[in-house]
Structure 1
Amino acid sequence: MASINPNGPLKGRTAVVTGASRGIGEAIAARLAMEGARVVCSARTAESGDSKLPGTLHDTVDRIRRAGGEATFIKADLSVAEDRERLIEQAVEAYGPVDILINNAAVTFFIPVETFPKKRFDLMMEVQVWAPFHLSQLVLPSMRERKQGWIVNISSPAGLHPRMPYARRSGGTVYGMCKAALERFTTGLASEVYDDNVAVNVVSPGLVDTPGVAVHGLINEQTRDRVQPIEFIAEAVYRLASGDPKTLTGKIEYAEPFLKELAVQPAELV
């Protein structure tokens, strides 16, 4: 039975998880809390009515606290620089310097290139590329000073180059651009901060049954057999957010194969 271990490997560490009101972010927040982390959950949806989708930051924090974990939430719009700065400032005020940053938040529009509006292009790049970059800038000085830190960026197989034979796509080119940029940022930053004992990695979830995925209709009869349990992603993130920065860094890992390589079964979530 799933439970919180307050004396787990992440005891005393502060983790910030973006996009934590539902889906993958909520699962990651729960998994880190299970190992003793003090988790700061962030998203735009704090309370019921803030979004048409199910799930709120309040729900995520309540889930963790009911199980005996330590968590709080900070509502933030990651497309706004001031909100990103406030998020890190308030996280430090709440729990101390950030040890773990999970860049999971995303906003996505599936529109063909020919008709893709600049306003939506800019918003996707801001939230999925610039926000992880900026949040990393905000936490890195403390991580480097303390010689301790873990950054995990959530990507997608959409970041891979399409291969022949081409089939008609569903307007995912900009989404793929964002994820490819995020992955290149990850490996570049990993090389920059290697000597400072800071690990920077990517977890690529594959297809997961979340409210956001449902909105875009990405699970259908053709794709249903590729759906991956959310526990796989949460477990892979935990392993990369707690591993040795000298050996587990600069990696772009697909959750299920990565866990098989480690001979690890994903833990049940609280």
Structure 2
Amino acid sequence: MSQAPVAIVTGASRGAGKGIAVALGSHGATVYVTGRSQKEGDASMPGTIYSTAEEVTQAGGKGIAVRCDSANDDDVKALFEQVIAEQGRVDILINNAAAIYDELSMPGNFWEKPLKIGDMINVGVRSGFAASWFAAPHMVKQNRGLILFTSSPGAMHYCFGPAYGAHKAGMDKMAFDMGVDFADVGANVAAVSIWMGALTSERLLEMMAAEPEKFKHLEGQLESTGLTGHLAWALYNDPKLMDYNGKTMVGADLAKSYGITDLNGQFAPSFSEGTGIRPVEYGAYKVK
């Protein structure tokens, strides 16, 4: 059985998922890298689960690639069965998988884009719920665990349209409601949501290169894809982890509180500092 903390990062072939997985690997974690991309060309963007898993191992952890379609409950069930059979536990779950199509960021109103962009609500909100559903019993039994949702300020302002907004707002609210349930049973398990900033992802860097004037405002304002992975590690190892249960936090602000620097040894820029937009604070009232 594994002695190192065991993490699952969904949607980790590229982008935020890849960065988070590699960051966790740098701390020595055993990281299950999930996604659908098994070979280059499986997606419009480069990256595979195997290349990410290799980078996790190179970073100092143990990367294990598992082909898993997060939209398929049987795939997710099989993933958790494999993790428990091989490791005996699951300590950190990063719910990052999302159906993001190129058309999402193209000009036009939501009805002028393909209906498939709505898949982000399924492979995003529901898939995060399903993965958490499979993880929760093990974490509660262990009496320790962290479920982290990757979100963004798009939960609180218009960004890429309603499908994107519903996905991000859903991440934040699920973290809160799951946190209530974990608190009710007295488990040392926390559910949190993290607002990531504009990331150094393959997709955004390609967009910036193609339209430098349009994205000029992002120069010097990017956040590494790995920052949230370092935050997940800090949270999991924080004796006061349960103080964060159910909360949505701005990643850059949390990083500053932990003293975690990012690109060029600087603290990541905080979206909230420049706009005043902050995560919603949900009410404590509970209908029984």
Q: TM-score, normalized by length of structure 1?
A: 0.83
Cα offset for 1:266? 4.5
| Structure 1 CA distance for aligned equivalents of residues 31 and 198 of structure 2 | 25
Tell whether 2:105 aligns with 1:114. no
Instruction: Determine helix, strand or coil for the equivalent of 2:22.
Output: helix
Cα offset for 1:15? 0.6
Moved more, 194-203 or 243-252: 243-252
Give a deviation string over 1:141-167, Cα, whole Å, max 9, x none.
1111121111000001111145xxxxx
| Structure 1 CA distance for aligned equivalents of residues 88 and 133 of structure 2 | 17
Tell whether 2:172 aligns with 1:180. no
Given that 1:152 and 1:240 are in contact with CA atoms closer than 8 Å, whether structure 2 keeps it comes out as: no
| Structure 2 CA distance for aligned equivalents of residues 213 and 76 of structure 1 | 24
Task: Evaluate the alpha carbon distance shift between residue 95 and residue 216 of structure 1 in structure 2; reply closer, same or farther with a 3 A threshold.
Answer: farther
| Match of residue 263, structure 1, among 244, 251, 259 | 259
Tell whether 2:230 aligns with 1:241. no
Tell whether 2:32 aligns with 1:48. no
| Structure 1 CA distance for aligned equivalents of residues 86 and 153 of structure 2 | 35
Instruction: Determine helix, strand or coil for the equivalent of 2:171.
Output: helix
Task: Evaluate the alpha carbon distance shift between residue 130 and residue 258 of structure 1 in structure 2; reply closer, same or farther with a 3 A threshold.
Answer: same
| Structure 2 CA distance for aligned equivalents of residues 133 and 216 of structure 1 | 30
Residue 209 of structure 1 aligns to which amino acid in structure 2? T
Once the two structures are superposed, the pairs formed by residues 5-20 of structure 1 within 5 Å of their partners are: 11-20=3-12
Tell whether 2:74 aligns with 1:78. no
Higher-RCO chain (CA-CA 8 Å, sequence separation at least 6): 1
Given that 1:231 and 1:267 are in contact with CA atoms closer than 8 Å, whether structure 2 keeps it comes out as: no
Name the counterpart of 2:203.
212
Cα offset for 1:69? 2.1
Residue 210 of structure 1 aligns to which amino acid in structure 2? S
Task: Evaluate the alpha carbon distance shift between residue 211 and residue 266 of structure 1 in structure 2; reply closer, same or farther with a 3 A threshold.
Answer: closer
Cα offset for 1:97? 1.9
Residue 30 of structure 1 aligns to which amino acid in structure 2? V
Residue 180 of structure 2 aligns to which amino acid in structure 1? S
Task: Evaluate the alpha carbon distance shift between residue 142 and residue 52 of structure 1 in structure 2; reply closer, same or farther with a 3 A threshold.
Answer: same
Given that 2:195 and 2:249 are in contact with CA atoms closer than 8 Å, whether structure 1 keeps it comes out as: yes
| Structure 1 CA distance for aligned equivalents of residues 80 and 173 of structure 2 | 24
Residue 31 of structure 1 aligns to which amino acid in structure 2? A
Residue 88 of structure 1 aligns to which amino acid in structure 2? F
Name the counterpart of 2:217.
222
| Structure 2 CA distance for aligned equivalents of residues 86 and 76 of structure 1 | 9
Given that 2:8 and 2:34 are in contact with CA atoms closer than 8 Å, whether structure 1 keeps it comes out as: yes
Structure 1: 5+ residue runs without aligned partners? 1-9, 163-168
| Match of residue 95, structure 2, among 92, 97, 103 | 103
Task: Evaluate the alpha carbon distance shift between residue 216 and residue 134 of structure 1 in structure 2; reply closer, same or farther with a 3 A threshold.
Answer: farther
| Structure 1 CA distance for aligned equivalents of residues 263 and 201 of structure 2 | 18
Name the counterpart of 2:179.
190
Given that 2:151 and 2:195 are in contact with CA atoms closer than 8 Å, whether structure 1 keeps it comes out as: yes
Aligned length, in residue pairs: 251
Once the two structures are superposed, the pairs formed by residues 86-165 of structure 1 within 5 Å of their partners are: 86-108=78-100, 109-110=104-105, 112-115=109-112, 117-121=114-118, 123-162=119-158
Cα offset for 1:112? 2.1
Moved more, 178-187 or 234-243: 234-243
Task: Evaluate the alpha carbon distance shift between residue 29 and residue 11 of structure 1 in structure 2; reply closer, same or farther with a 3 A threshold.
Answer: farther
Cα offset for 1:84? 1.6
Instruction: Determine helix, strand or coil for the equivalent of 1:90.
Output: helix
Name the counterpart of 1:27.
19
Instruction: Determine helix, strand or coil for the equivalent of 2:149.
Output: strand
| Structure 1 CA distance for aligned equivalents of residues 169 and 125 of structure 2 | 9
Cα offset for 1:224? 3.0
Tell whether 2:224 aligns with 1:232. no
Could you tell me the percent identity over the aligned residues? 27
Cα offset for 1:119? 4.2
| Structure 2 CA distance for aligned equivalents of residues 241 and 113 of structure 1 | 38
Residue 241 of structure 2 aligns to which amino acid in structure 1? P
